[in-house]
Structure 1
Amino acid sequence: MRSLLLVGLLAPAMLSAQVRARTVGLAPGIFAPGPFNAITDVAGVRVGHATVSEGDSLRTGVTAIVPHGGDLYRERVPAALHVGNGFGKLLGVTQLRELGEVETPILLTCTLCIWPAGDALAQWMLQKPENASVRSINPIVGETNDGQLNATRWRGGIGRAVVQALESANPGAVAEGSVGAGHGTVMFGWKGGIGTASRVLPASLGGHTVGVLVQGNYGGVLQMAGVPIGPLLGRYAFQRDVAPLRPGGAGGPGDAHAERGDGSCMIVIATDAPLLARNLERLGARAIMGLARTGSSASNGSGDYVLAFSTSPRVRRNPDAALSTNDELGNDAMSALFQAVTEATEEALYNALLMATPVSSRAGTVRPLPVDSVRTLLRARGIGR
């Protein structure tokens, strides 16, 4: 278990996990996942979480994605950003777009935590002996607003959480649900969180791996494999403004905030395919298609950001090199990767919902999507067993 709990005066007991998407028959697409069905199926990628829970108000955390185990500052990975809707904050974005690369791990946290998180990441990088002469560092920190459960103005413990998330980062299975940066998040009126998934292309299509990790904190009209789960359960965006879409739903105005489809979603993509910034941005754009399949319409208040990077040693960047020579995948080879990232993003978002556990704070309790009800609704349409 790679999730760390930073204990304050009061800390709720860790709650048992629910199930991953494939357990209920949700396996989007045609390509197979990697052995962990996680972003860490891309060789070298590591993930760490630090969950911050203190008193009756602080419900947040940090998730760290480390692209490879080498010297990130001198072996920079090509990277790109795609913005679905830009109502959010992303630290380090201008340099990322200008140079088409990242030189630090990638952090996810809460909206008002990005500045202390960025400072802690910069300090962590600068303290490395090999960086003793470095005078500039560009931390990459993404966020979603977990203010429904979290006292987001109080940013205590974030610096420590950054260090713990970075130093606990490991390959292998990734903790999902209400952990790390997903501790205080909400999706479609139910508990949201961290989710991950991967796809491995067959050898005839290059054999490359694509992994996705999401921080889900958004709304809309939830659907799974095309089944209108939100309307069938009586919880969906704008339900107070329209005639009931389905009778007998198990939601209602008292069960959640007035769902308007708002929120945010951070999506991080890793691939071992040798791609530079231009094609990585194209790859990121397809992740939005996976987000849309879950029922998001990228509302006005939604910050939907996709950050994609390539771990391939063939395209890494040395800042001291006078000439960069790269073997980049051709455009015609991108279509299979587009399919793979769409599938993996959709499944990662399902995992974020289905693996979430209840979280309570002074503001109340947000409960997870009812798995048994979802299973029943899917089975009625021939999905799952």
Structure 2
Amino acid sequence: MDNHLTAATRGRARARELGVVVGALPTGPLNAITDVEGVLVGHTTLDDGADLHTGVTAVVPRQLTAEGRALPAAVYAGNGYGKLVGSTQIDELGVLESPVVLTATLSAFRAADALLTYLMDRSPEGISFNPVVGETNDGFLSDIRRRPITERHVLDALEGASGGLPAEGCVGAGTGTTALGYKAGIGTSSRRPVAEGAAMTVGALVQANFGGVLTVGGVPMPVEELVPGATGEEPVGNSCMIVVATDAPLDARQLARLARRAIFAMGRVGASYSNGSGDYAIAFSTASPELPRLPDAGLNPLFAAVMDAVEEALLNSLFTATTTTGVRGRTRHAVPYDRLPRTGAGEPVG
């Protein structure tokens, strides 16, 4: 398992290590979705060094398994060109009853069946389940038609999910993804806003695979200008999956408002929001149901937190990814560190 393979291990760095700081809000201790208490992340990576670059990432709220309860949740489809299994029931009931599994487009349905096995094993008497599986199309770099994801791969990601800083970049469901002309992958970040006098945590995890022109701190970084021989051509099937977790006591309607801001944050890094881009955000709350719900007038700090956390998670997904050559010799290059604008303190790395 590679849940905690750090960017430094691969010779790559996160945004803040490169002097790129998003917003003024403080991060959680890990600057990751796992800063939200009880939220775990697991990965399974399939990479043969040639035509296969894919995998599974699982976001597992411990409250679902330990307490056996559903969590308030919402889905927002910025552009519904995708396959988000289980989304209509979340829309209808406003609750999440399953971990969130991410994988490649053509493996989403096998992953859903595997997640169903996981849920049934934990509820032997249950007769209705709502597995939630999101996807992006990694077919530019991986032989997606092989549909290599098995039940075991999904169960390994779920059962191996843990706290700590999740691995980012070319790992799990981000192994073969690309974004904004560069190699991308999985990224995560968190913020600690104060709302209604109380400190809260908002965390985001992204599977980045969408088109546009990379923009860092308002500065465009077109790949065709910065990487010799590269082009910004957008492959078919661009998409982005965003998972937002918070310990703020919010209901499903309020979480939908957070989910919308998560999609808006893609625009900060230069997303094109193209016709074929399935851009989805899932937001859920781990707060105790006994806590009073925050008033809408108190949500502004959370809106700022989710925008900043998603923006930084997207940048982390790019900055921690490594140059990858895949199926039919196609290559996506890593972001060149020496061309990054510095937006905060710290010496650039690399």
Contact 2:32 2:189 in 1 (8 A): yes
| Aligned equivalent of 1:23 | 17
Equivalent in the alignment of 2:52: 58
Q: Give, as a single letter, the amino acid of the residue that structure 1 aligns with 2:320.
A: M
Residue 38, structure 1, aligned to residue 32, structure 2: yes
Mapped contact 1:205–1:333 kept (Cα < 8 A): no
Is residue 21–residue 350 contact of structure 1 (8 Å, CA) maintained in 2? yes
Q: 1:274 aligns with which of 249, 256, 266?
A: 249
With over 3 angstroms needed to count, the CA separation of the structure-2 counterparts of 1:4 and 1:328, relative to structure 1, is closer
2:17 maps to amino acid: T
Query: Partner residue of 1:308?
Result: 283
Deviation per CA, 1:329-375: give whole Å up to 9, x if none.
Answer: 1111111100000000100000000000122323223221111222x
1:137 equivalent in structure 2 = 129
Offset from partner CA, 1:178-227 (integer Å, 9 cap, x none): 00000000011211100000000147642110000000001102110111
- Name the amino acid aligned to 2:80: G
Cα distance change on mapping 1:327 and 1:2 into 2, 3 Å: farther
The alignment's C-alpha RMSD in Å is: 2.3
Quote the sequence identity (%). Answer: 47
- The residue aligned with 1:366 is 332
Give the Cα separation in 1 of the matches to 2:231 and 2:73: 37
TM-score for both structures, normalised by structure 2: 0.92
Aligned length: 344
Shift of 1:4: 9.2
Query: Quick check: 1:17–1:356 contact (8 Å CA) kept in 2?
Result: no
User: In the alignment, which residue of structure 2 is the partner of 1:291?
Assistant: 266
Alignment check: 8 A CA contact 2:58 2:99 kept: yes
Residue 70 of structure 1, CA deviation: 4.8
1:90 counterpart (73, 84, 98): 84
Q: Does 1:3 align with 2:10?
A: no
CA contact (8 A) 1:3 1:51 kept: no
Task: Determine the C-alpha separation between the residues in 2 that align with 1:221 and 1:384.
Answer: 25
Structure 1 residues 72 and 150, CA gap change in structure 2 (3 angstroms):
farther
In the TM superposition, what is the alpha-carbon distance from 1:28 to its structure 2 partner? 1.0
What is aligned with 1:227? 219
Any gaps of 5 or more consecutive residues in structure 2? none
SS in 2 for 1:363: helix
> Is it true that 1:119 corresponds to 2:113 in the alignment?
yes
1:292: Cα distance to partner? Answer: 0.6
| Whole-angstrom distance in 1 between the partners of 2:195 and 2:230 | 48
Q: Which segment drifts farther, 220-229 or 196-205?
A: 196-205
Pairwise CA distance, 1:290: 1.5
2-structure distance, mates of 1:151, 1:384: 39
Q: How does 1:189-208 map to 2 (within 5 A)?
A: 189-202=181-194, 205-208=197-200
Q: Is the 1:2–1:169 Cα contact (8 Å) retained in structure 2?
A: no
- Cα distance between partner residues in 2 of 1:43 and 1:82: 23
Deviations 1:93-124 (CA, angstroms, capped at 9, x unpaired): 11111111111110000001110000000011
Q: Provide, for residues 80-99 of structure 1, a one-character-per-residue CA deviation record: whole Å limited to 9, x for no partner.
A: 00111111110011111111
Contact 2:4 2:165 in 1 (8 A): no
Distance 2:167 2:344 in 1: 29
Task: Output the TM-score relative to the length of structure 1.
Answer: 0.84
Deviations along 1:126-153, whole A, 9 cap, x unmatched? 122xx11101111000000000011111
Secondary structure of 1:62's counterpart equals: strand
Unaligned runs of 5+ in 1: 6-13, 236-248, 316-325
